[in-house]
């Protein structure tokens, strides 16, 4: 049974209609697209490691195709697709290339092809790792493990990453939905900051009120432990939170810029990870794992 539609008032004065559906249920998508000017496509399967061949990831491609067809049938004016910076890695063939990134790139290509044929307006946002209360992923795992004393001090790392606040991502989505300058564009979205992994680790210790050890884990030991955890997870038949990919992500730069979306759409980030961290830490440490 579907939930009844509800109207949501947005800060900009726009209205959004929420309808429960399924990317694999074409009829539910047709109903969701009825009398809609713009679709924000955020649905899909969460990303997994680069070694995964999960058939569930095809939902990100087939589901996007189903939604596109429903939008065309209902004469939707624009689709804004929330992609990932991992699609850029898949496109270039360098960096952290994953099955998830390839699936996101394939979904992007379906939309850009429809746009090039003049069938519908499309905007693609490639978001980097998103932070905020309720976030998941490596940084959340790092906070939990530091808090419980299960994470040894990281090696002396010089790697840097890009991040994005969830509220700023929402602002970017609204701009993408309403700006004429965004049509047929692909934008990478970050909060404009560069975050050294070493600085993130230090700030987590401070937010938890813990003293950061002065000694450092040798890089070779961290790699061996990460690889072993990854192998153990595969042996047990489940996706683990730590693997050799975790080590690569910790020791390799993963930087992106947001100059295009700032210039074209006037996107202006409003916060940083460091400013958001106390609230994130409070949420993680007060909830049951």
In the predicted model, residues of the chain with pLDDT beneath 70 are 1-19, 47-56, 222-247, 288-289
Q: What pLDDT sits at residue 218?
A: 83
Of all residues in the chain, what percent carry a pLDDT higher than 70?
80
Predicted pLDDT at 50: 45
CA torsion angle for 245, 136, 10, 193 (degrees, to 10)? Answer: -60
The total domain count for the chain is 2
Same domain, 57 and 153: no
7 and 105 housed in the same domain: yes
Contacts of 219 (CB under 8 A, 6+ apart): 155, 251
Task: Examine the domain organization and report whether 205 and 151 are in the same domain.
Answer: yes
**What digits encode the pLDDT tens for the residues 67-101?**
999 999 999 999 999 999 999 999 999 888 888 99
Is there a single domain that holds both residue 136 and residue 94? no
Q: What is the pLDDT of residue 249?
A: 73
Sheet order of strands, 185-189 included? 38-41, 78-84, 121-127, 185-189
Q: Could you tell me the residue range of the domain that residue 96 belongs to?
A: 1-127
135 in the same domain as 241: yes
119/218 same-domain check: no
| CA atoms within 13 A of residue 124's CA, in its CB half-sphere | 22
Burial class of residue 141, CB neighbours in 10 A (0-12, 13-18, 19+): middle
pLDDT at position 242, please? 53
Same domain, residue pair 150 and 60 = no
Specify the pLDDT at position 217: 84
Q: Verify that 136 and 246 share a domain, yes or no.
A: yes
135 and 9 inside one domain: no
Query: Is the domain of 121 the same as that of 134?
Result: no
Q: For strand 121-127 and strand 185-189, is the pairing parallel, antiparallel, or unpaired? A: parallel
Q: Are residues 114 and 202 in the same domain?
A: no
pLDDT score at 3: 36
> At 18, is the secondary structure helix, strand, or coil?
strand
Query: What's the pLDDT at 138?
Result: 84
């Amino acid at each position: 049974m579907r939930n009844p539609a509800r109207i949501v008032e947005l800060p900009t004065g726009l209205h959004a209609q929420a309808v429960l559906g399924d990317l694999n249920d074409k009829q539910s998508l047709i109903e969701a697209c009825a009398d809609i000017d713009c679709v924000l496509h955020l649905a899909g399967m969460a990303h997994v490691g680069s070694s995964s061949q999960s058939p569930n990831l095809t939902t990100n491609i087939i589901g996007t195709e189903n939604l596109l067809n429903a939008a065309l049938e209902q004469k939707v004016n624009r689709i804004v697709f929330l992609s990932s910076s991992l699609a850029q890695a898949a496109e270039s063939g360098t960096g952290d290339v994953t099955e998830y990134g390839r699936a996101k790139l394939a979904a992007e290509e379906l939309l850009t092809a429809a746009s090039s044929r003049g069938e519908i307006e499309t905007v693609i946002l490639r978001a980097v790792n998103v932070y905020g209360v309720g976030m998941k992923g490596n940084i959340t795992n790092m906070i939990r493990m530091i808090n419980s004393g299960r994470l040894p001090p990281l090696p002396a790392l010089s790697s840097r990453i890009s991040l994005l606040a969830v509220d700023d991502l929402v602002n970017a989505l609204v701009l993408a939905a309403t700006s004429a300058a965004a049509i047929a564009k692909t934008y990478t979205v970050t909060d404009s900051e560069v975050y050294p992994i070493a600085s993130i680790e230090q700030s987590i210790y401070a937010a938890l009120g813990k003293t950061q050890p002065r000694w450092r884990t040798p890089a070779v030991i961290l790699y061996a432990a990460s690889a072993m955890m990854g192998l153990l997870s595969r042996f047990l038949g489940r996706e683990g939170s730590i693997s050799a990919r975790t080590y690569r992500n910790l020791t390799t730069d993963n930087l992106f810029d947001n100059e295009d979306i700032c210039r074209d759409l006037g996107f202006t980030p409003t916060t940083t990870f460091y400013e958001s961290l106390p609230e994130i830490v409070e949420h993680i440490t007060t909830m049951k794992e």
